[in-house]
Each structure stands twice: as C-alpha cells, then as structure tokens.
Amino acid sequence: MPIKAVLFDMDGVLYDSMPNHAKAWSTAVTEFGLSMSPHEAYLHEGRTGHGTINILAQRHWGRNATTEEMERIYAAKSALFNTCPEPQPMPGAAQLLQSIRSLGLTIVLVTGSAQHSLLTRLAHDFPGIFSAERMVTAFDVKYGKPNPEPYLMGIEKANAHFRTNNEHIAPITQSNTIIIENAPLGVQAGVASGCFTIAVNTGPLPDSALLDPGANLLFHSMQELADSWEELLNLLNTTTSI
C-alpha cells in the first residue's frame, strides 16, 4: 500500500532543541525540591510536561503534583528554556520535508511540546509545510506519549485533510503512515499506534534505547534519513506489507 502520510515529532527531529530542554528541566526542578539529570530528561522526552513533573513528584514527594504545582513548575522550565540560545532547525529536516511535500504526501506534526515559541517558528523555518489543522500538540492530548493517542490523533488529522481533497480514494490509516521520532517514549507511542516507525538517534542515548521499543529502522541523523528517503520510500511502496 503506497505511503500517504508522514507524522513528524518536533524536538530532536525538526529542531536541535533537546540540549536546551534537558538543561532547562534539570535546572528548573531543583528550585521546587525535585531533581532530574539532563540524561534523565532524554529518557522522559516526549511526555507532556505535566506528566514528567508528576513522575518527579511521586518520586520525591511520594504523592501526585497538584495542577497548580504542575503549572508553576512547567512555567519555570519554559522560562528557562526561553533564555537558552535559540535552537536551530536540524540539518536535513528542511530537505526531507520538501521531498515529502513534493511527492504530495500529507505531513502532520505530533509533539508533546507546549512551547509556543517553537510552534510559531515552524511556519518561519519550514514555510508552507505545517498548518494549525495538521498539528497535534500538548494542548490537544489527554495522555500524551508513550500512549499512542497523539499519533492516532495525528492520523485522524492527516485523514481529515486528505479526504477533503481525495473523496473517493482509500483513507489514510496506520498501514500507510510513517512516523519519525527521536525519543524512546516517542518510538513506543509510534509502534503502539501501528505505524511504521523510523527512529533518528540525534541525542546521547544508545541506539538500543530506540531499537528496543520496536523502531522499524534507525538513522543517525536527519541528514542521513533525508539522503536515503527516496530509496526508502520506493522500498516501502513496493513492499506488500509493512
């Protein structure tokens, strides 16, 4: 079945923003009596901010964080993140997005982020690629990654867009959608959603952190994936079952 849609994670895939997130998390939580190393931040990557804070609260306080605490801590983390040098687009990301777009495939952003700053920048850095109707963010989801929910919502949004223009053609489903992820919990969510999940290891974790949760393929940079894209897509399109 020909591939019809590609769902993109944002941090660590489209932007080289994870070092800033890891630093902001590890610094911000200390003022609330919590602790998380930058390394641990990579292991939680993909969760909603509130989900991450609650795990720390359970560990350090022995209870869930209140909504007010979650909001206060997340605001402190966001403020620190915004003082970091502006994250740059990941090399190769624009090339890959353009290749996918030129083939007429539907592109959807699926992120656990609630960073307004980065969401606004997408339109500037990747013009004409993303639109508000084809984005799933922390504001849309109830569970977030590693639950498959965000990616299943991404498929729904891709399909809503696709069906408007292709009324009589078979819909976008898990079997014709690819997910691109860089985080262990994101790969877990992608695999659980039933889509072909490509891991791009752009961070400090070993490849096994992405292969063990079930990534179908692994690349070591977005540039490597962009350079292999055409060949990869041909292969997937001519394979009867992925």
The contact set with Ca ion (CB under 5 A) reads 9, 11-12, 182-183
Q: Which amino acid is at 35?
A: S
**Least distance to Ca ion, CB of residue 11, Å:** 4
Nearest to Ca ion of 9, 149 (CB atom)? 9
CA distance 43 to 63: 21
Nearest to Ca ion of 9, 16 (CB atom)? 9
Q: Which residues pair with 200 in a beta bridge?
A: 219
CA distance 66 to 50: 10
**Least distance to Ca ion, CB of residue 210, Å:** 11
* Closest by CA position to 46, among listed 141, 172, 167, 166: 141
Q: Whats the size of the chain, residue-wise? A: 242
Nearest to Ca ion of 87, 226 (CB atom)? 87
**Least distance to Ca ion, CB of residue 10, Å:** 6
Paired tokens of 69? 């605490």
**Least distance to Ca ion, CB of residue 55, Å:** 17
Nearest to Ca ion of 20, 182 (CB atom)? 182
Q: Please calculate the CA angle 119-111-140 and round it to the nearest 5 degrees.
A: 90
Please count the other Cβ atoms lying within 10 Å of the Cβ belonging to residue 234: 10
Nearest to Ca ion of 11, 149 (CB atom)? 11
**Least distance to Ca ion, CB of residue 123, Å:** 19
